[in-house]
Chains A and B, each alone.
Chain A
């Protein structure tokens, strides 16, 4: 049985469960225990068990079961992080992998252990519900939510509402295909809203409430598409009703004959934006709107279940940070690359890079998880965020305590100063783990990380996003990389195809294929030549992406395919 762990009154940054929520999770764990028992006894066939285990985040991978645990809107508390560390030590190989959907995966899990693991997770108000399967997946969110200076609305309350609404939704649990929703509350899109099935951007309404920009039909995979703007004035009280209408139209009309044509993006393209909008509006108009209305009292009640940080920095916090930066150049570099401005005076958000040079992007050992949990308790109200770039964030750090935090991170090999730089690579698990992959993504990421290990060099190159997928399903988001790398199989050999010019943000675009795929041993050198060409041709502080957009592909093509 799980140890009894005292729950904090209300966790900072995420919804605090009550006894009803805990009873629900307990029911769910028992349901899965029953399903696993039926599978082991043989009364459930693998074909019948598959969708049920997938509904609990359990995949069968190349070598073992993989368990994907939900981190709703990417926010964890220290107690939960310690439990993940415990599971890593006890049931896995002492590490876990943070994913681009802000979740955590364990790669070496035994089927018969999963009910106990889920029971342990439930004891800290966590679960693996709907982290896979053709249902509404974990809702992702801005990693600086509730902290960022540029934020207009903290989107986590609405993310929680969507989590609850979509949990075991009776109508939308067997959709044509998986369904991903992201929500931001900042005009600077850090959630890739335009690359999701539904992207929501919360903003203040004229009446003082909240309203939403709605994007639909974005996605990556085999058919990368930037989502279309469906409307910009969705009132908060209609949020659930309108989403019900959007998803219902998809459930009714989305293709089910071909899984590669089954995402909502294909439906939106087939109907056209206007055609899809008309169907949604017709459904919305005929719904029982009172039943699905989201009243302000409900929003307020869920908001009240979120702990809030008591932000109260000393007056000289910023001055003390300045002094520490002047005294310590390595710290100063880390502050330049790994922090984000906070809305409150004297505070800052710190990004913990999970991309050490030569390491595996997103991996963390149980010891590192425990360290982060301890540091979160000491410096950041016990709150930890997972980013879609596969890093971690401490959202609310006092500026005068940042230097001490950095020193502790450095001691745990968690202080790589590379956020947003060439070392901050997204990579899917690839052929090292995944049954779908054509090529190994991780070794390319490791070699690139080692090639560009120097912090000085990384800072000179400046903001650049490299994203690596081991197959066309694009879990490594290569379509949205400034430089995208796609693993392909050519007669049993691993080759890598480069795409340039992708971007996940407010200026979303799909990268374009540069030319023929490169052999594995030529890929890293080719990227180094490409980066050199950029350094020669950039003007002023131009990002790689802007140089590419200004000058086009030709010069980069010459650099990549130049024969030595």
Chain B
């Protein structure tokens, strides 16, 4: 699945596991939340990510988070905007500095929102045109509210330069 970072396609070094597939002893893997303990039991230094459901409370990751390199949030449909709040809570409340990956079915028109909520990579849905995503990334020059990206303030209001 193509992976997008800063509007560019990048190689995906992670393996995403479902509930049943065997856990490799080494290499970066993303496990479902139900297998978090299993993942954490691997050798220290093995990179681990966890995939959340939209209704997962972010606070449940509080203890494990320092040992996680990646958190995946998901859009089962593009209209389900809970992942925006999850991403922002990860950055703002838990000060997570690792990769936040958006999965599922987000639209390119949501790309800037994803970034401004703290998402770093997007696993592009099947059939996506990366060009349209890249264009969405450069579409707006100004936003009207502060975000977790800490953009520069513009002039006298709450505006930020993107």
With A20-B154, A34-B135, A287-B92 in contact, is A51–B78 under 8 Å at CB?
yes
- Bitwise interface map of A from 19 to 62 toward B, beta carbon under 8 Å scored 1, else 0: 01001100110110011001000010000100110000000000
Residue B79 lies at the interface, judged by CB distance under 8 Å to chain A: yes
CB of B80 within 8 A of CB of A174, answer yes
Q: How many residues of B contact A (CB 8 A)?
A: 37
Shortest distance between the CB of A197 and any CB in chain B (Å)? 16
Name the contact of B156 in the complex, choosing from A169, A240, A301 (C-beta under 8 A).
A301
Rounded to whole angstroms, the CA-CA distance of A294 and B146 in the bound complex is 11
Most B C-beta atoms less than 10 A away, residue of A20, A48, A171, A172: A171
> Nearest Cβ in chain A — how far from B109, in angstroms?
6
Q: Is A473 at the interface (CB under 8 A from chain B)? A: no
For the complex, give the distance between the alpha carbons of A294 and B157 in Å.
Answer: 10
Among B78, B141, B154, B157, point to the contact of A174 (Cβ < 8 A).
B78
Contact with A along B140-160 (1 / 0, CB 8 A): 111111110000001111110
Cα(A169)–Cα(B112), bound, Å:
10
- Indicate if the CB atoms of A173 and B81 lie closer than 8 Å: yes
B78 touches A18 (CB 8 A): no
A164 near B145 (CB under 8 angstroms)?
yes
Given contacts A51-B107, A171-B113, A172-B81, 4 further A-B contacts (CB under 8 A): A24-B142, A134-B81, A168-B112, A252-B82
Q: Is A269 in the interface zone, CB < 8 Å from B?
A: no
Of all A-B residue pairs in the complex, the 6 with the closest CB atoms, nearest first, are A174-B81, A170-B116, A301-B156, A170-B113, A164-B144, A171-B84
* CB contact between A27 and one of B88, B110, B117, B140 (< 8 Å): that residue: B140
CA A51 to CA B113, docked complex, whole Å: 15
Q: Does B129 count as interface, using CB distance less than 8 angstroms?
A: yes
**CB within 8 Å of B: which of A272-306?**
286-288, 291-292, 294, 298, 301-302
A165 within 8 A of B: yes
Interface of A (DSSP majority class): helix
B27-58: which have CB < 8 Å to A?
none
Which residues in A have their C-beta under 8 angstroms from that of B110? 173-174
Report the minimal beta-carbon distance from A51 to chain B, rounded to whole angstroms: 6
Q: When the two chains form their complex, are residues B81 and A171 in contact, meaning their CB atoms are under 8 A apart? A: yes
Q: Tell me the total A-B contact number using a CB cutoff of 8 A.
A: 108
Q: Which chain A residues border B115 with CB–CB below 8 Å?
A: 170
A251 with B85, Cβ < 8 A, contacts A20-B154, A174-B110, A302-B157 known: yes
Partner of B93, one of A24, A171, A286: A286
Known: A27-B140, A35-B109. A288 touches B117 (CB 8 A): no
B146 touches A292 (CB 8 A): yes
A240–B158 CA distance with the chains assembled, in angstroms: 11
Residues of chain A contacted by B81 (CB below 8 angstroms): 134, 171-175, 251
Cβ–Cβ < 8 Å partners of B116 in chain A: 170
Asked if B67 CB lies within 8 Å of chain A CBs, one says: no
Give bound CA distance, A156 to B112, whole Å: 29
Q: Is the CB of B155 within 8 A of A20?
A: yes
Distance of A182 Cα from B63 Cα, bound (Å) = 40
Q: Once the chains bind, are B84 and A251 in contact (CB under 8 Å)?
A: yes
Distance to closest chain A CB from B134 (angstroms)? 13
In whole angstroms, what is the CA distance A537 to B141 when docked? 64
Known: A31-B139, A298-B157. A251 touches B82 (CB 8 A): yes
- The docked-state distance in angstroms from the alpha carbon of A539 to that of B109 is 60
Q: How far, in angstroms, from A292 to B81 measured CA to CA in the complex?
A: 21
Q: Which residue of A lies closest to B105 (CB)?
A: A48
Contacts of B139 in A (CB 8 A): 27, 30-31
Q: Are B145's CB and A169's CB within 8 A? A: yes
Rounded to whole angstroms, the CA-CA distance of A34 and B66 in the bound complex is: 42
**Contacts A171-B81, A251-B82, A287-B92 given: A20-B159 contact, CB under 8 Å?**
yes
CB distance from B127 to the nearest CB of A (A): 10
Q: Are A301 and B141 in contact (CB under 8 A)?
A: no
Chain A residue nearest to B138 in the complex (CB): A27
Point out the residues of chain B lying under 8 angstroms from A172, CB to CB. Answer: 81, 84
A167 CB within 8 Å of chain B: yes
Name the A residues within 8 Å of B147 (CB-CB): 170
Contact of A168 with B141 in the complex, beta carbons under 8 Å: no
What's the Cα separation between A397 and B142 when bound, in Å?
Answer: 38
Interchain nearest-CB distance for A297 vs B (Å): 8
Given contacts A27-B139, A251-B84, contact A174 B79 (CB under 8 A): yes
B113 touches A173 (CB 8 A): yes
**Structural contact, B79 and A134, CB atoms closer than 8 A:** yes
Q: Could you list some 23 contacts between A and B, CB below 8 A?
A: A24-B141, A24-B142, A27-B141, A27-B142, A31-B140, A34-B135, A43-B129, A51-B79, A164-B144, A164-B157, A164-B158, A167-B144, A169-B145, A170-B117, A171-B84, A252-B82, A252-B85, A288-B92, A298-B156, A298-B157, A298-B158, A301-B156, A301-B157
Are A171 and B117 in contact, with the CB atoms below 8 A? Answer: yes
Q: Taking A18-B155, A27-B140, A164-B144 as contacts, is the C-beta distance between A52 and B85 under 8 angstroms? A: no
Q: Is the CB of B109 within 8 A of A256?
A: no
Check if B84 sits within 8 Å of A174, measured CB to CB.
yes
Contacts of B155 in A (CB 8 A): 18, 20
Asked if A248 CB lies within 8 Å of chain B CBs, one says yes
In the complex, residue of chain B having the shortest beta-carbon distance to the beta carbon of A290: B146
Taking A48-B107, A171-B113 as contacts, is the C-beta distance between A20 and B142 under 8 angstroms?
yes
Q: In chain B between 63 and 93, which residues have their CB closer than 8 angstroms to a CB of chain A?
A: 78-82, 84-85, 88, 92-93
**With A48-B107, A170-B84, A170-B117 in contact, is A291–B140 under 8 Å at CB?**
no
Residues of B within 8 A of A298 (CB): 156-158
Bound form: Cα–Cα A251–B143 in Å: 21
Q: Are A23 and B88 in contact (CB under 8 A)?
A: no
CA distance A27 to B144 in the complex (A): 13
Shortest beta-carbon distance from B77 to chain A in Å: 9
Kindly state the separation between the CA atoms of A28 and B143 in the bound complex, as whole angstroms: 11
The residue on A at minimum CB distance from B159 is A20
Are B80 and A256 in touch, CB under 8 angstroms? Answer: yes
Complex contacts, A167 vs chain B, CB 8 Å: 144-145
Chain B's closest residue to A295 (CB) is B158
Residues 248 to 263 of chain A near chain B (Cβ within 8 Å): 248, 251-252, 256
